[in-house]
Structure 1
Amino acid sequence: MIREYKVEDKENIIKILQEGLVLDMSYINEDFSSENNTILVYEDEGIKGFALIEPRNKVTKFYNINIYVKPNCRKNGLGTKLYNEAVSYLDEVKPNTLSTKYVDKENVSEFYKKIGYKKWFSFYEMTYNGDPKEESKLKFVNYEDKYYEKYVQLCADGFYDLRAENDIQPYICSNPNEEDRKNTIKEKDDIYLCIDDNDEIVSTVKIKGGYVDDLIVSKSYEGKGIGQETTKFAINKCIKSGVDKITLDVVVWNVSATHIYKKFDFDIVQKINVCRQFTEK
C-alpha cells in the first residue's frame, strides 16, 4: 500500500538508497526534514520504494517528483503506482511544470520517457578527500549587507549563460528585494567575498559545512586564475573547519569549472540527469 511517510521510515529508506546510490547525508537530512516536502512510501512487507514531492516554485507551479524503487522490486509497476499517487497528490495545485532526477547509471530513462519527461540537463556530484592546498593568493571576508546590490548583480551575471544555455528559467536568477536581502544576511557566515581596491567583488563562494556552492568570478576578472584561487580558498576553509569530505555540484555544461575542480583533485562520484515535462492542466 502507499501511505504518507513517518519519521521512523527514514532509516529504512536510507538503507534502500544505499543499495544503489552514493549518498550525501546533508541532502537526505534536508529532504526529509523540510516542511515543504511530501514523501509517500510504498510498503508491502517492508518499504519497497518512495516518492518525494518538492515544490520548486509555488508561484509558477513548478514541482519536483523523485521516485525511487528498490532495485530488486523494479519492473513490476511499483514506480508507476508511486508516480501516479504523487501526481494525484498535486491535482489541486495543477502544476505547470514537473521535474525529476536520477543517477545516470540507473536504467530508468525509458520509464520517465514513457510518462512524458524529456532530458533537461545533467550535473556531476563531486567530492574532495585530500590534504589542504597551498594558501590562496586572495583574501576573503564574510559577506556584509553593504555589498548586497553588487552581490546580487554578480550572481545574476555569473549564472546567466549557464541558465540560458540549459533553459533554466528565470535566466536572471537574482531578484533584488527586501526578503531576499534579509535571507542573504542570514547566510553572511557562509558567504565569502574577495574585494578589490575599488571595493568591487572579485569572486565569491558559499561554504556550508563541507558543501561548496555558488563559486562565481566577476566577468571583469575572468581568465586571471581567480577561479582556481577561490577553489583553493574553499578547500582550505572546509578542512580548517574540521570537514572530512568536501562536496559540490557542477552542471555538465560548465566544462571550465569541471576542469578546475578536477585539477584540484575533486572526483566525480556520480552523474545526475534532470528531466522535465510541461503539463497541460
Structure 2
Amino acid sequence: MNLCIKEYKYEYKDEVNKLISDDDFVRNDVINCLNRWPQYGSIVIVASEVVGVGIFTEASKKTSMTFYVKPAKRKKGIGTALLKHLEDTMRNVGVEEIVCDFRVSDVEKTFLYKNGYNYWFTSNFMTYNGSKLAVDNDEIINYEDKYYHECQKIFSESFHKMRLSVGLDSTLSLPSEEERNQYKENAENIFLLRKNDEIVAAVRLEANEIDSLAVGVEHQHKGYGKALLSYAVNRLLDKGYTTVALWVVEGNSARFLYEKVGFIKEREHEFVVKGIK
C-alpha cells in the first residue's frame, strides 16, 4: 500500500469534511482544531485519496490529540502509521504527555491501549436545546484583569476538589503570567458572579460551549452555580446559538444541576493519556 503522510494544508479542508461522514461531532471537532492549529495537522493519502487526518493542539508539555481514519480503510495499518507520525512530531516539538479521548468503544479502547495509552477518566458531553432560563437577581459582571487572582483561586480550588471527589489525582494549579494573559485575551467570554463585593463564582465560554464553571468552595450549594449557568446559557442563546454544550466528568455532582436546568447527555467519552518523554 502506497501510504503518504503530509502536513495539513487549507486546500485539504473540503476533503477532510467529506472524509468524516459518519460522525458530525468528530468532524466538527477535527475541523475546528484544524482551523485553530493548522500547523499541527497531518493527513494520510493512499492512491491520491485522503483516508486519514490527525492533529494535536499545542506545542506544550501536555497536549491533546485527535485522529480519524476512513472506516473502510481501518485495520490496514493506517491508524498505527498516523499515530506514530503524530507522536514523533509532538515529541520533536517538546510534548511530553498526550491526552486523547474517544466515544466509549471497545475497538478504539483496544487500539489505544495496545499503543501505550492508559485510562484517565470518563466524561459526558451534554447539550441544552431549550429557551432562555430565569436568572436570579445576582450581580454578574465581565472579567477584568484586576480580578485575576480571585478568579484563578476559584477555578483552581473548585476543580481540585471535584477531581479528588471522583478519584482523580490532583494538585492545586498556581497563578501564572501565561494564564493571566490568556484570561485577558478571553476577557469578553469570562463572567463573574459577585456577592457583597466578593467574587464567588466564575464561568468561561468558548463558541457555543460552557468551557468551565466553578463556584468558590466556601460558597457552594447556595444557588450561585445555577445562577451563573443560567446566565451563561442565555448569553450563548443571545449570540444566536441554538445548542449550548458542556462536558462533565463522570461522578461530578454538578451533572445533577445541568440535568435540572435541561441539559441532556449526548455522548460518553473515555479520556486516556500517554507519556512520550
TM-score scaled by length of structure 2: 0.87
Letter in 2 for 1:260: L
Bigger shift: residues 214-223 or 28-37: 28-37
Structure 2: stretches of 5+ with no match in the other structure = none
Candidates 25, 29, 39, aligned match of 1:22: 25
Q: What CA distance in whole angstroms lies between the structure 2 residues aligned with 1:10 and 1:224?
A: 47
Secondary structure of 2:240's aligned partner: coil
Q: Which has the higher helix share?
A: 2
Q: What CA distance in whole angstroms lies between the structure 2 residues aligned with 1:6 and 1:111?
A: 27
Aligned to 1:47: 50
Candidates 266, 269, 273, aligned match of 1:269: 266
Contact map agreement 2:120 2:273 (CA 8 A) in 1: yes
Contact map agreement 2:136 2:227 (CA 8 A) in 1: yes
Q: Spell out the pairing of 1:159-170 with structure 2 (5 A cutoff).
A: 159-164=159-164, 165-167=167-169
Contact map agreement 1:99 1:276 (CA 8 A) in 2: yes
Change (3 A) 1:14 1:162: farther
Contact map agreement 1:138 1:229 (CA 8 A) in 2: yes
Deviation at residue 15 of structure 1 after TM alignment: 2.9
Q: What CA distance in whole angstroms lies between the structure 2 residues aligned with 1:93 and 1:178?
A: 22
Candidates 11, 15, 24, aligned match of 2:14: 11
Deviation at residue 141 of structure 1 after TM alignment: 0.9
Deviation at residue 7 of structure 1 after TM alignment: 0.8
Q: Residue deviations 1:170-210, cap 9 Å, x none? A: x223x32344333322222111111111x111211123342
Q: Spell out the pairing of 1:19-168 with structure 2 (5 A cutoff).
A: 19-23=22-26, 25=28, 27-35=29-37, 37-44=39-46, 45-55=48-58, 58=60, 61-93=61-93, 95-105=95-105, 107-164=107-164, 165-167=167-169
Deviation at residue 16 of structure 1 after TM alignment: 2.6
Contact map agreement 2:126 2:247 (CA 8 A) in 1: yes
Contact map agreement 1:22 1:270 (CA 8 A) in 2: no
Bigger shift: residues 158-167 or 28-37: 28-37
Secondary structure of 1:9's aligned partner: helix
Q: Residue deviations 1:153-172, cap 9 Å, x none? A: 1111111123454236xx22
Contact map agreement 2:8 2:38 (CA 8 A) in 1: no
Deviation at residue 213 of structure 1 after TM alignment: 2.1
Letter in 1 for 2:144: E
TM-score scaled by length of structure 1: 0.86
Secondary structure of 1:22's aligned partner: helix
Secondary structure of 2:169's aligned partner: coil
Secondary structure of 2:25's aligned partner: coil
Aligned to 1:252: 250
Candidates 218, 221, 231, aligned match of 1:220: 218
